[in-house]
């Protein structure tokens, strides 16, 4: 995702309804203000790949952005955690999520020389749990945790994909 498209990612969270954020396991109060969030990303984009805190891919359909994936908790050459969001409801449940998860993972394995990729959605969020299984991830365990800086405490399911 080029830095100039970072607004797409920031707006997605800030414009979401409370109910939608709840499904994602995200606490609105923990979202950085848009300007501050942009600055966080600008600083991160300046870092060399092995030092990046996060990395993102913008997914397009017919040259229009429809979703994005992000990677964080990156340990270069070892492992990282991925996320995927299809922004508009009409584009969901058409198989795009499965395709984008597979294609994102291919990129992450290559760019960060990863051995394995984890994904850890909210246990009650059915869609990503179905998609991860379909995309070839293996279920590891469920636990109660705070999975990230914008999340509230919740039960999550951890899935893993090993480097092919
Ligand atoms: C999660 C998400 C990326 C999945 O993408 P998608 O394009 O809708 O998923 P697909 O069309 O590839 O569906 C794959 C499977 O999941 C199932 N599925 C997808 N959404 C579902 C839902 N809301 N409820 C039940 N099953 C669902 C599909 O029926 C399909 O099942 P199958 O393998 O039996 O055929 C998308 O729904 C999304 O962006 N949701 C909102 C954001 C989100 O929750 N992101 C995850 C944060 S970790």
Our mutation pick for probing the ligand 1 site, out of 93, 117, 125, 137, counting the most ligand atoms within 8 A of Cβ, is: 93
- Joined together, the tokens standing for residue 82 give 């991925």
d(CA 67, CA 77): 26
Residue-level pLDDT at 20: 97
Give the phi and the psi of residue 150 in degrees, each rounded to 5: -105, 10
Ligand 1 mean position to 25 CA, how many Å?
Answer: 16
Residue-level pLDDT at 64: 96
Ligand 1 mean position to 131 CA, how many Å?
Answer: 5
Could you tell me which of 60, 51, 54, 49 has the C-alpha nearest to residue 8? 60
Number of C-beta neighbours around residue 132 at 10 A: 25
Ligand 1 mean position to 134 CA, how many Å?
Answer: 10
* Shortest-distance Cα residue to atom 41 of ligand 1: 85
* Shortest-distance Cα residue to atom 33 of ligand 1: 134
Which residues are CB-contacts of 156 (< 8 A; sequence separation ≥ 6)?
25, 120, 121, 122, 123, 142, 143, 144, 145, 147
Q: CA-CA-CA-CA torsion for 37, 40, 45, 51, nearest 10 degrees?
A: -140
Going from the first residue of the chain to its last (164 residues), give the mean pLDDT of each consecutive group of 10, the final group possibly shorter: 97 97 98 98 98 98 97 98 97 98 98 98 98 98 97 98 96
Residue-level pLDDT at 21: 98
């Amino acid at each position: 995702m080029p830095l100039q498209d970072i607004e797409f990612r920031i707006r997605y969270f800030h414009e979401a309804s409370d109910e939608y954020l709840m499904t994602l396991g995200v606490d609105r109060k923990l979202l950085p203000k848009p300007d501050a969030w942009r600055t966080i990303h600008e600083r991160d984009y300046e870092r060399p790949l092995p030092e990046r805190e996060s990395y993102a891919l913008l997914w397009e359909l017919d040259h229009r952005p429809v979703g994005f994936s992000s990677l964080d908790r990156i340990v270069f050459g070892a492992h990282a955690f991925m996320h995927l969001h299809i922004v508009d409801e009409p584009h969901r449940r058409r198989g795009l999520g499965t395709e984008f998860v597979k294609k994102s993972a291919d990129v992450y394995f290559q760019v960060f020389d990863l051995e394995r990729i984890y994904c850890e959605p909210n246990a009650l969020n059915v869609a990503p749990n179905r998609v991860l299984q379909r995309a070839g991830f293996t279920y590891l365990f469920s636990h109660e945790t705070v999975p990230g800086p914008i999340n509230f405490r919740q039960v999550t399911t951890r899935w893993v994909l090993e480097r092919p």
